Each structure stands twice: as structure tokens, then as C-alpha cells.
Amino acid sequence: MNRILKYVIVDIVKNKIVLAYAIILALFSWSTFSLEDNASKGLLTLLNIILLTVPLVAILFSTIYIYKSSEFIELLVSHPIKRSKIWWSLFAGLASSLAIAFIVGAGIPILIYVDFLKAFMMLSVGILITIIFVAIAFLSSILCRDKAKGIGVSILLWLYFALLFDGVVLFLMFQFSDYPIEKIMVGITALSPIDLSRILILLQLDVSAMMGYTGAIFKDFFGTSIGLVISFTLLILWIVVPFSISLIKFKRKDL
Amino acid sequence: MQYISIMQKICVYISFLLLSNVIFAKTIVVGKQTQFATIKAAIAFATNGDTIIVQQGLYKEGNILINKSIYFIGENMPILDGDKRYEVLSVKANFVTIKGFKIQHSSFATLDDPGGIKLYNSHDINILDNYLYDNFFGIYIQYCKNILIKNNIVEAFGKEEQEIGNGIHCWKSDSLQIIGNNLSGNRDGIYFEFVTHSVIWRNISFKNIRYGLHFMFSNDNAYFTNYFKNNGAGVAVMFSKKIIMMNNTFAENWGDAAYGILLKEISDCYMQGNTFTKNTSAIFMDGTNRFLIEKNVFKANGWGMKIQANCMDNVIDHNNFIGNTFDVSTNGTLTLNTFNQNFWDKYEGYDLNKDKIGDVPYHPLSLYSVIVENNPPAMLLYRSFMVSLLDKSEKLIPSLTPDNFVDLKPLMQSIRL
């Protein structure tokens, strides 16, 4: 596994896109922190950028990379290596290289400008989001044999999580505004890793507004240590579930 | 010559008569080694104008009634204990001074509201430097006039609103001065009902269950330079007129229905130089009319101002709004209030003629604050990309938010205060 992993990482680094991604993230982060006079405000600006770009890059790059390495996968399958090992190393290679790019690009300025707890939250959420969308990319690329279709599905999934989901939630809220839906809404956030991450970080930042009316309910859930554990477990489930489905599919797939 | 000496004698006699009260006034010392072991005996012995000095120690004498004009002074904080069964100190006389006692454990009764110190129909009373600890009501005043309450500490440990009284409770009184007191753990720190012409100055009111300061039907009062922190709501002004509020700090009043200041059915008030930081909502206005709010700072609050649509003719002038999640929100489309020359940190306009006033009007009401007002769970989507997009488009072309909710002359720089 180690040798395959090593090969994948070297290949990704040679590709230089991940490098460019890290540099762009660094540019974004350094410039927002130096433009905003208040580190919390900078973090909020950065939050929006990260919640949009990180999933996009992770899902698109991974999908395309998997399709690109289909010949390499076929080659490996012909050798006496377990299929799961191949899939795992591919996943680990992609996830780790993108996560490292995120840490180098955005992590360093965040750690410098923001106090530790918030920075830690932001970094862990950023890394988890990266890995989640790599896992989703694995799923969508294994589901579609056709390259164009697979990439299309990835883009649509990203659109859904980043934009459509919030729109749907907003719509539902207006439709059911006469009912006490606060608690249900907390449950619904679990359906989108991006929303879940955003709320986790906001609870560290906009405490005052979150303390208001319904904010209190969210605070009661996400702010407590149990809520935090549940939220992180949910985020990890967002990695485990898509990836294991893709792994099962890959094992059975006729290449 | 003889005539002059007679005149001198008469003068001496007259002055003697006039001053007799002072000269013959006794000083009675209460303590273990003195003639008087109990305070009650000392009060019974005293006449108007006497001074009673109570030495250090614990005095459990049930209810102590002061019915004479005396100076009642504690030496090294003697403790008066009500044993949870009695009202500790009752005053039914005028011209009384109470100074330097620790008064603790009054009884609990919702019918006659016992207090640590309770004044009945009195005038010209001074209550100075006392420490009121764990009483039902701290200091209770009814039908009084010209009262000075200064430098007292009122500490209670209430858990529920109905289980605890107010720190300083004033009912149907006039001309009160409440200065430099420290109030915590009560229902309301200071409570005014039918109180007029009074001033509240330099008090610290924190961790009270309901309000730091509460006005009901109390007109023509003022409070200055007080500090309200961590109360259910900092200050509640209800059904009152002509209240002046200056240089106060409202901080960290957090919670479900917590406000820095709650204004309900009030009119002709004035507010200046206050600082609001880290409150869930800094100001909540309901049925508020002709209120001038100027030169205040709203910083890091959830909501800067919540102005209900039933407010009229209020002027919000020269305030700083910095780092609030929402600067202003409202529950309707009707706007009868004026915003003028405030500084909004969210303002994105420009100033071509360099007169420090932005050339583009500022609409402080964001679409999202309206959405959240109507549909609180929408807070869940706060700062999501979708919502920012909606907000931006609404800023360019206001359609859902009332377009007369506007500051025509927003300032480019914050006001120095």
C-alpha cells in the first residue's frame, strides 16, 4: 500500500495543480487577514471562501484524477494486489495531498491571526470538508463509467451542497413557519456537511446573535460537548459512508 | 451697659433653646461591654436626634423598628440577622440615618414583602454603606420622599423570579437618590414603580434574574453612568415618560429574550453616550414614541436595535454601529422613525466631495434580518453563500425591505465618543 500511496502522492505533486491550489488559498487567506482590521471578521470572509472553494476543488480534482488513473488502476489490478488496497491508497493519496495543501495555504495564516480555539475549529472543519468531498468524488466516479457524466455528477453535487441545499432549507422554513420546526432544522443540517461546518464555526464567532431566539436551541445542541462530538461524528460519517459504498462497488466492478 | 448684658443673656438663652436638641442629644453605645446589650433597648431609650452606635457582633433580635429620628450607626459592620423569620429593619420615622451594617436573612413572604431595610411613609432618610446579604427584598421603600441610598451592597441568591425580591425596591416615592450601589442576584437590581424626580447614578447591577433596572409608571427620572452586566435584560423602561439615560454601559445581557435595554410604551425619553456591547439585542423598542437616541455605541451585539413597527417619531442620530450581527431589524413595513448621520461599519458607499458624509444612502435593514424576524429558525442559514447572495441583491434593489428605512447621510468614519 505504501508504495502505491507514494506513487499517487508523487504523481499529484508533479501535477502542480495542488500546489497552485495551496498558493491560491494562501493568497486568499493572507489578503483577507491583512485587509480586515478585525481577525474575527477576516475569519468570516475566509469561511465563505473556504466553504465554497475547498469542496469544489476537492470534488472536481479527485473525480478527474480517478478517471485519469483508470489505466493505472487496471494495471495494478492485474498484479497480485488486493483491490481494496488500491482504492484505499488512491483515496489516502488524494485526501492527504489536498488536506496538506489546505493546511499550508489557509492553515498557517489562520493559526497566526486567529486565537487557538477558533483556528483549531476552522482547520479541523476545513480538513474534514476536504476529505468528505474527496470521498463523494470517489462515489460519483465509481457510479458512472462515463467520464463526462461522472464529472457532471460531481459538479451537480457540489452545486447542491454549496447552494441548492440552503435554498431548499429556506423554502421549507417558509412553508412550515407556522410549526415549531427548530429542532427538526437542527436535524436537517446533518444532511449537508457544508451547513454543519458553517454552524460549528459560527458558534465560535457570532455568539451574540446565536444566543438569540432560536440560536439558543442551536447553541444548546452544537455548543455543548455532546453536540460537538455528534457533529464531528456526523462529519466523519460523511466520509465513511460514501467511501465505503464506493469501495464495495469498486471491489465488485468489472473493469 | 446693663441693657447689653441682658441682650447677651437673652441671645444665649435663645441659641441654647435652639441648639438644645443637638447639645442634649445622647450617644448610646450598644455592645456586650456596655449598658445596652440589645438594639431594641437602645432605641426604646433614645429620643429624637440621638445617635446609636452598635459595636461589632451578631444581633438576632427579630424585627427591629426605628420609630424615632436617630442616627443608627454600625461600628465594624455589626450583623443584624432576621433568622429567615423576620423583616430585619423597619423604619417608620423621618430624619433617620442608617450606616455601616451587615443585614442578612430576612424572612420570605409574598404578601407583605419583608426586606432587609424597609421604609414606611418616611422622608429624609439616608441609607449608607450597608451590606445586605441574602434578604428577600434588599431595601424596600414605600410612600417616601428625599431618600439617599448610597454605597450599599445588595447581594442575594435567587434562582427563580418568584422566589426572590428586588435589590432596591421603590414604590410610590419621590426625590430618591440611588448612588454607587452594587446589586446582584436579585429579581430586579433596582425597581421603580410610581417613582418620580429621582436619580440613579454610578450603580453596578449584575447577574440579576430579571432586569438590572426596571421602571414602571415612573416619570421624570434619570440614570447616569451605571453598569449593567449579565442580567436577564439590562434595563427595562415600561409605561413611563421623560426618562433620561446617559453614559451607561449595557454588557453581556445574553439569552433567549435578553436585551440590553427593553423599552415598552414609553415616550419623550432621551438617551446619550451609552455603550452596548455583546448583548443579544442591544435595544428593543416596542410602542416607543418621541425618543431621541444620540451618540451611543453599539458594538458586537447580535441585534443593534429591534424597532417594532408600532414605534413613532424616534430619532436615531450620530450613533456608532460596529461589529453587530444585525444593525437594525423590524417586524413590519411601516417606518415612522428617522435615522440620521450614524456610522455603520457595514456601509459600503463612497464620499466624493470629502465632507465625511457618504454620498449614497444606507439601508441598515438587511433582507436577512427581516427573514429572521419573521422566521427565526432561518438563523440556521446565517452567513451561508445563498443568504449573502440574497442580501447583496436586496441591497442593490430593495424590494422586500421598506425603502424608507434609510440613513440618508451615513458617516464615513466612526464618531469619537
- DSSP letters of B258-327? -EEEEEES-BS-EEES-EEES-SEEEEEES-BS-EEES-EEES-SEEEEE-TT-BS-EEES-EEES-SEE
Band of the pLDDT at A238, cuts 50, 70, 90? Answer: very high
Q: Residue for cell digits 453596578?
A: B204
Q: Do B302 and A209 touch (CB under 8 A)?
A: yes
**For residue A182, how far is the Cα from the chain centroid?**
25
The answer on pLDDT for A211 being more than 60 is no
Question: Which residue in this structure is represented by grid cell 443673656?
Answer: B9
pLDDT at B137 > cutoff 70 = yes
CB contact under 8 A, B279 and A41: no
If you search the block for the grid coordinates 444581633, which residue do you land on? B59
User: What amino acid is encoded at A237 in this protein?
Assistant: L
Residues of B in contact with A170 (CB under 8 A): 371, 378, 381, 386-387
Q: Categorize the per-residue pLDDT at B273 as very low, low, confident or very high, splitting at 50, 70 and 90.
A: very high
Contacts of A195 in chain B (CB under 8 A): 380-381, 384
Average pLDDT over residues B102-108: 92
Render pLDDT for B320-363 as a digit per residue (tens, 0 to 9): 999 888 889 888 877 789 999 999 988 888 889 889 899 988 88
**Which of the 8 DSSP states describes residue B182?**
E
Contact B109, B134 (CB under 8 A): no
Higher per-residue confidence, B396 vs B140: B140
Rounded CA-CA distance A188/A218 in Å is: 12
Does pLDDT of B295 surpass 70?
yes
Query: Residue B343: its pLDDT value, please?
Result: 94
Cα B115 to Cα B149, B216, B326, distances in angstroms: 15, 20, 42
A216–B380 C-beta distance less than 8 A = no
pLDDT at B36 over 70: yes
Full residue range of the structural domain in which residue A36 is found: 2-252
- Look-up: residue for cell 433617620? B96
Of the listed ranges A185-199, A204-218, B394-408, the one predicted with least confidence:
A204-218
What's the half-sphere exposure (Cβ side, CA atoms, 13 Å) at A185? Answer: 29
Integer Rg of chain B from CA: 27
Cα–Cα distance for residue pair A220/B151, rounded to 1 Å: 39
Residues of B with Cβ-Cβ distance to A204 under 8 angstroms: none
State the burial class of residue B246 (Cβ atoms within 10 Å of its Cβ: 0-12, 13-18, 19+).
middle
Of B300, B375, B384, the CB nearest to A174: B375
Residue A173 CB: number of other CB atoms within 10 A? 21
Decide if B291 touches A, using CB distance below 8 A: no
* Residue where the block lists cell 428617522: B338
Question: Could you tell me the pLDDT band of residue B415, with boundaries at 50, 70 and 90?
Answer: confident
Q: Tens digit of pLDDT for each residue in A180-207?
A: 887 788 788 778 899 888 888 887 775 5
* B299 and A CB contact within 8 Å: no
Instruction: Tell me phi and psi for residue A172, to 5 degrees.
Output: -60, -40
The count of structural domains within chain A is 1
Whole-angstrom CA distances from B240 to A73, A119, A162, B174 are 79, 48, 50, 15
- pLDDT at residue B262, rounded to an integer: 93
Contact B300 A38 (CB under 8 A): no
Confidence (pLDDT) at B264: 94
Residue A222: the pLDDT is 73
3-class secondary structure, B107: coil
User: Residues of chain B with pLDDT > 70: what percent?
Assistant: 96
ipTM of the prediction: 0.72
CB contact under 8 A, B375 and A173: yes
Taking the alpha carbons of A203, A207, A209, A215 in that order, is the dihedral positive or negative? positive
Q: Are B26 and B46 in contact (CB under 8 A)?
A: yes
CA distances from B56 to B53, B79, B151, B213 (A): 10, 7, 20, 33
Contacts of B277 (CB under 8 A, 6+ apart): B249, B250, B251, B252, B297, B299, B300, B301
DSSP B348: -
Contact status, residue B347 vs residue B402, Cβ threshold 8 Å: no
Q: Where does the pLDDT of residue B228 fall: very low under 50, low under 70, confident under 90, or very high at 90 and above? A: very high
A199 chain-B contacts, CB cut-off 8 A = 380
Does B117 or A227 have the greater pLDDT score? Answer: B117
A122 class by beta-carbon count within 10 Å (0-12 exposed, 13-18 middle, 19+ buried): buried
Confidence of residue A44 (pLDDT cuts 50, 70, 90): confident
- Give the 3-state secondary structure of residue A40: helix
Query: Rounded CA gap, A251 and A77, in Å?
Result: 10
* Residue scoring higher pLDDT (A248 or A184): A248
The reported pLDDT for the residue numbered B70 is 94
pLDDT of residue A221 exceeding 80: no
Mean pLDDT across the stretch A41-49?
A: 82
Rounded-to-integer distance, Cα A43 and Cα A32, Å = 8
If you average pLDDT over residues B387-407, what whole number do you get? 79
Mean pLDDT of chain A: 87
Contact B379 A199 (CB under 8 A): no
More confident call, B57 vs B109: B57
Q: Does A173 touch chain B (CB under 8 A)?
A: yes
Residues forming beta bridges with residue B125, ordered by sequence position: B96, B147
Q: Check CB contact under 8 Å for B382 and A209.
A: yes
- Tell me how many residue pairs between chain A and chain B have CB atoms under 8 A apart: 98
Query: Does A208 contact B375 at a Cβ distance shorter than 8 Å?
Result: no
Q: Average pLDDT of B402-417?
A: 86
Residue A215, pLDDT score: 61
Taking 60 as the threshold, does the pLDDT of residue A209 lie above it? no
Is A144 part of the contact surface with chain B (CB cutoff 8 Å)? Answer: no
A216 touches chain B (CB under 8 A): yes
**How far is Cα A101 from Cα A25, in angstroms, rounded to an integer?**
8
The per-residue pLDDT for B39 is 92
**CA–CA gap between residue B235 and residue B400 (Å, rounded):** 32
User: In sequence order, what are the beta bridge partners of B104?
Assistant: B81, B133
Q: Rounded to two decimals, what is the model's pTM?
A: 0.80
CA–CA gap between residue B150 and residue B260 (Å, rounded)? 24
Residues of chain A in contact with residue B250, where contact means CB-CB under 8 angstroms, are: none
